[in-house]
Amino acid sequence: MTATQNAPTEHPKTASDSAERRYATVNPFTGQTEKEFDFTPTEAIDGIVERAHTAYQAWRDLPVEERAAVVRRAAELMDERRDDLAALITTEMGKRREEAAGELFLCSMILKYYADNGPAFLQPQSIQPLMGKGEAVVETKPVGVLLAIEPWNYPFYQVVRVAGPNLVLGNTVILKHAEITPQCAVAIEQLFTDAGAPEGVFTNTFLRIDDVEQVIADPRIQGVTLTGSERAGSAVGALAGKHLKKSVLELGGSDPFIVLDADDLGATVKAATMGRMQNTGQACTASKRLIVTEDLYEPFVQGLQQAFSTFAPGDPADPSTSLAPLSSERAAQDLHAQIQDAIDKGATVVAGGKRPDHAGAFVEATILTDVTPDMRAYHEELFGPAAVVYKVKDADEAVQLANSSAYGLGATVMSSDVDRARSVADRLEAGMVWINQPTGSSPELPFGGVKRSGYGRELSELAMFEFANRRLVRTVPVKKADKPQAG
């Protein structure tokens, strides 16, 4: 994955969605349980939070350049360990090895971006007072310990885009990762420890779901961020509100990929295929709803069918594999149930539609058309290798269909007429719109959505301010008293 390719998120499959599962590495290709981890004891949580709080009090007072140096060193260690870490990602959640290495490359970019630019982002900003003399300055200060609840689909990227800006800012982080990627969680903590982060600055935990509220309620916790399902986000957002904690939620997406016209239809089909199929379709900003004007619809569907027919299941560690397993057998069953619901209610299967005759958590690369509002696939996020293609008569109908979703994360508009594409983009209800390229991610670009896709922004300069005290300092000069006259 390059800096401009998709790097999104997990949804009905976060750590917050399964209360009783143990933290375990279950290889989705072989089905074998390779390693298990005990839950963090409930009685140990107070000590974990206290260590993070104590660390914060020292960490915030270090010069920002020293904090940035630790973050940069973590990036360098990630580069050095990339092969081993990529193999770990593949083992735990099934990502193709090439994509796993790409995820780590992007993570290194993010850490270096905040190490290099974070100190400048934190410079005080002057304001010219409208009344009175003196000066006014807005300072950006850390707030304390944060809880990060993160998913499995990009097990390093999701964590790094929280840790990078907040560690440079001066906050400390407690991680609750997904139950199916525990070794990735341990490896991330080790990266920051080896980079020189003092104890408590970045702490991995294996929290039970039932213990999450205890952490959020703790007065030493100052914020919580979650990437995951709408259901998990609603629960965590409610807890954060109950306990008056700032929260950032990056939730589901059902991103439209609108094709208005195409000088090169083959390139457009290739972009749609990449946008839908990267990470086996397990990305919140994947191009899930392909909306095509009627004059291009038939050749587009034909081209997409040809492209999807090339995806064959195989070992994700094998460089020749084109279709990796989903993250778990449960995930494969859930996606297939959504597809089957559409088929049972009259959807047309252009490609795929089944579980292949292959060991592992696989679902065929699937294309559905004639999907109607009575089908789950019309309203729900399809988190895997399944695309729905819609035919519309013009741009107005495309916008209407795109905005009909409860989600509003990303969107793509394809057109050889950039002005036309921008006019359509201006009408889309989304946190991110990409023109002539599938939605992606890069350190300097803000990431986040609207509507039921959540709130807040990660990445870019904006991420430095989500969990910050934007403190005003107003200084008024003291009027000097008149000197007494000599007698």
Got the DSSP string for 240-264? HHHTT-EEEEE----EEEEE---S-
Q: Give the active site residue among 284, 364, 380, 458.
A: 284
Amino acid at 46: D
- At 412-426, the pLDDT tens digits run 999 999 999 999 999
Contact between residue 410 and residue 253 where contact means Cβ atoms under 8 Å apart: yes
- 250 has catalytic annotation: yes
- Integer Cα distance of 65 and 119 in angstroms: 7
User: Which residue is catalytic, options 250, 364, 381, 458?
Assistant: 250
How is residue 142 annotated by DSSP?
E
Q: Over 70: is that where the pLDDT of 215 sits?
A: yes
218, two tokens? 């703790």
Q: CA angle at residue 459 from 454 to 463, to 5 degrees?
A: 75
Give burial (CB, 10 Å; 0-12/13-18/19+) of 229.
buried
Contacts of 293 (CB under 8 A, 6+ apart): 259, 260, 261, 391, 392, 393, 394, 395, 398
107 has catalytic annotation: no
Q: Where are the alpha helices (DSSP H) in 195-293?
A: 212-217, 230-242, 265-277
Q: The whole model's pTM is what?
A: 0.93
Nearest to 275 by CA among 61, 87, 441: 441
Res 161 pLDDT > 70:
yes
- pLDDT confidence of 486, banded at 50, 70, 90? low
Token couple for 101: 């290495």
Task: State pLDDT tens for residues 8-65.
Answer: 333 333 333 334 568 999 999 999 999 999 999 999 999 999 999 999 999 999 999 9
Residue-wise pLDDT tens digits, 462-485: 999 999 999 999 999 998 876 666
Q: For residues 475 and 134, what is the distance between their CA atoms, to the nearest angstrom?
A: 6
Paired strand residues for 110: none
- Amino acid sitting at position 207: L
* pLDDT averaged over every residue in the chain: 94
